[in-house]
Structures are given as structure tokens and as C-alpha cells.
A and B are shown apart, each in its own frame.
Chain A
């Protein structure tokens, strides 16, 4: 079990547990983190699972692939910390990850 923390737009933090290989999106959806809409269900096809990775983590994550990068460029208010939670898979290296949520996905 790994830990991942979601911080909403008002600064409210929720720490949740995740299994090896589980996407950060599915952790959110399974635990009532409603700001993650995840309308396509994790296929990198909708862009409604956007998060901003906490500054302390940006260096430690595997880089976004082309399709994730392409999608991020189409989001509302993307920054260099933007990631799609459906493409972030939990592992020992990501244990303790902190992500911030936009107020709205669109």
C-alpha cells in the first residue's frame, strides 16, 4: 500500500492509500474526490483528470509521454506541473505523492 494526498483548490488535503500500479485517478474516483471527473475512464482521451503535481515531486515523476503531453496542452490553465492523474501509476517511487486539484476541470 502506498500513500497519495490530494489537495483541493481551497487547500483541504485528503490522504488516501493506493495499490501497486493503481492510477492516481482511480484512487480519487474510488474515494469520492469529485474534482477528478475522469470522464473517459483513464484513456487519455478527455483531459478531465488534471492535477498539478506538488513542487516537491515534479523531479521525481516519470515524464509524460506524447499523448499525455498533447492532452495537457489542450487543458484549461496548464502549467509545467500539470499531469493527468490517469497516467500516473502508483509505485514505491511515488509513495507519499502530493497532487493539487484545479477548482474545475472545465
Chain B
């Protein structure tokens, strides 16, 4: 079987997703995968990596490609696979994290998605603008005279978890704890699944579950204008059960927290790496929507998801049997010159159309994309308005390792107030 080690004609193109070189710049390795055309087998995850835009898009949008292996594996086989990936013996994690809207298909998926879809539409999300703006204004008030900040920790990391918490109905003072739980669970998704990380993930899931139980009891007694209250009503109407409700709340928090922090960081970094684009946005703040769309394309924060084929299929000219597991490299597809032209590797705040795959595609298309965009719009617009200049205070920001996430660990900035 072929392996995913494209002949490295230039350094940095071997497919080593845990390496520092890959963390700092995965794009040469992605380009090498695209150039090979056919999907490449990646033994660490037992899946075929797909890198070209057209192939990734058609798999993501194909209803015969699914997230859950239930349709072709027995219960025993699934358990064995979980064991092989150190994904077993985690009672709460398997109940609330391993099961979710994202990891279900067909009718179950449609039913779960329907319960929350309306809350995340542009019309509903726009109602959060005032709340987000005043939260961001307060944060910026506290930072603006500091001279130097870590943009990731001091600003980006403070916002998305807090806002999602507020949408769910979590009181302000508990939002920082949500962030810790979500990070501890998410860390265990990547390829290095140690027992230590596993224990931390299970503990976080358990504590989060107990917290949600308490919150649900309170909302039953005293309903509020929030997502938890509306989900409880949906549960009472028989649309979903309690485990599904808990799982949905956890998914919403986890899917939207780290990813938004990461793209805030990489988006800011992109504006600093391409000062002409920063200047263009300053001159024409109306470009903020295309600029944000470009940030998602340019440094897709969740670059890697999987699908199983439920039928025999052909991908990139190669035939695969039913039950094949594919790894969709959204981050590679979004830099494909075949889809975005010869300047696919440059950052263009006015790029339009910009039909990228950073939010996936098909039935699982990101539920929270409008919330993520609004957080970003408020933050970038506020900073550009209130700061005369923003510059990088370090030479080469370090990016997080791994295949599943992309974003800087920290981003030291020098701020000059307007």
C-alpha cells in the first residue's frame, strides 16, 4: 500500500504532521500531497488523505460519505477500533463527546441539527452583536495602554468561549471554567493520545456534565431566554433525550471555542505578514467581511476531518471500496491553485468569490460559522478603529503542532493607541 510520504524533492514536504516544520508551515507538505493527485494512505490514522479542492469538496458534500462507521462495523469492531486509538474506557466521554450531532448521520443528525439550527442563523446571531461589542470594548480598555500584549491569550482566548457560554445560558462567572473543560476535552482529539491526556479529557467531560445537570435543574425551575432553556423545551416535546441535549451543548462549546481563538490569532498574524492588506483594510473597513472570509481560507483553523464511504467509490481517479476512511484536508484544499488561482498562497482581503471549505460542506456544514464571523468582525473592527498601529513584537510566532488544529500558540504584539 502506498504511504503518505510523498517523495521529498524539497525539504519540508515529507508528511510529518507532528513535526515542528509542519506546525510552522504545513503548506509545502499539503502542496506535495495535492501534486500526487491520488489520495495517499496515512497509516497513523488508518485513512486515505485527500488534498485537492475538488476531491475534498465532493466528498464533504456527498451524502453517501458519513461520519460514523456504524453502517459497516459491528459493535465489537467499533470497540476494537476505539481501543486501538486509545478512545475506550471513558464512560462520560463516550456518552457525550464520542456521540454527537457531528458524529451522527442521516435522521439522527438531521433531528439534532434542527433543534439548534435556528439559534445560529444570521438573524439570531446578529442579536448578540451588542453583547459581544461591549464585552470586547471592556477587554480592549484593559489592554490598550499596555504597550505589548499576547494577542492570543490576552484577547482572542477571552472572547469565543465567553460568548458561546452566554448564548447557551451560562452565567458570566462560570464562563472561564467552560473554557478549561473544553480545552481539556479537545486536546484529546489530536493524533498523540496519551493516557494522561485521556484521564484529563474524561475528568473534564464528567465535571462539565455535572455542571450542565445543575444548570438544567435551575432552568427547569426558572426558564430564561437562552439556548439551554429552549433545548429543555425541545426535550420535553420529545425531540431529543437528555444525553443528546448534554452532548449538543458540549459540542457547541468545543467546536466553536478553540477554532475561533486560533483563527483570530492566525488572521491577525496574516494581516501583519501582509502589511499592504492591513493598510487596505484600514483604508476601506467595508472589506471586513471578505477579509474575514479570507482569514478562514488562508489559515483554516480546523484543517482536518474524516468521512467513511458507504458505497464503492472513485476519488482522485482511484477506486476505493465501501467502508474506506478518508481524511479531508480542508487546509490543503483551501490553498489549491486549481480552485483559487495562482495566488492561492497569498492573502487577499478583497478575495471574492471565496468559496472555501474551512467550515466544511454538506450536511455537517459548520453550524456556528456566523457566530465565529461576528466575534471576528467585532474584534478586528474595534482594534483597527482604536489603534493607530499594531505590530509584531516577536520574530517568528510558534504555531500549535498537529494535524487537527492550526493557530499560533502566542502572538506578541506592540500596540499604539489612536
Question: Chain A residues in contact with chain B, CB under 8 A?
Answer: 29, 32, 34, 37-43, 45-47, 67, 70-71, 73-76, 106
Contact = CB atoms under 8 A, between A and B. Distances in A.
A41 B61 contact: yes
A31 to B, nearest CB: 11
A74 B117 contact: yes
B352 A34 contact: yes
Contacts of B365: 39-41, 43, 45-46
Interface in B116-153: 117-118, 121-123
29 contacts: A34-B353, A37-B353, A37-B355, A38-B355, A39-B355, A39-B359, A40-B61, A40-B361, A40-B363, A41-B57, A41-B60, A41-B61, A41-B365, A43-B61, A43-B63, A43-B361, A43-B362, A43-B363, A45-B113, A45-B363, A45-B364, A45-B365, A46-B365, A47-B121, A70-B117, A74-B118, A74-B121, A76-B123, A106-B370
B206 interface: no
Contacts of A38: 355
Nearest to A70: B114
B369 interface: yes
Interface residues of B, number: 23
B110 interface: yes
Given A32-B353, A39-B355, A43-B363, 6 more contacts: A40-B362, A40-B365, A41-B61, A45-B362, A45-B365, A70-B114
Nearest to B110: A67
Interface in B345-397: 352-353, 355, 359, 361-365, 369-370
Contacts of A43: 61, 63, 361-363, 365
Contacts of A29: 355
Contacts of B370: 106
Contacts of A106: 122, 370
Interface of B: 57, 60-61, 63, 110, 113-114, 117-118, 121-123, 352-353, 355, 359, 361-365, 369-370
A45 B361 CA distance: 9
A34 to B, nearest CB: 5
Nearest to A44: B363
Contacts of A71: 117
A74 B122 CA distance: 8
A74 B110 contact: no
A76 B359 CA distance: 20
B108 to A, nearest CB: 15
A76 B362 contact: no
B115 to A, nearest CB: 12
A84 to B, nearest CB: 13
* Max chain A C-beta neighbours (<10 A), residue from B110, B121, B359: B121
Given A40-B61, A41-B57, A42-B61, A76 B122 contact: yes
Nearest to B118: A74
Contacts of B363: 40, 43, 45
Contact of A41 (B118, B353, B361): B361
Most buried by A among B57, B117, B352, B353: B353
B365 to A, nearest CB: 4
Contacts of B117: 70-71, 74
Contacts of A34: 352-353
Contacts of A47: 121
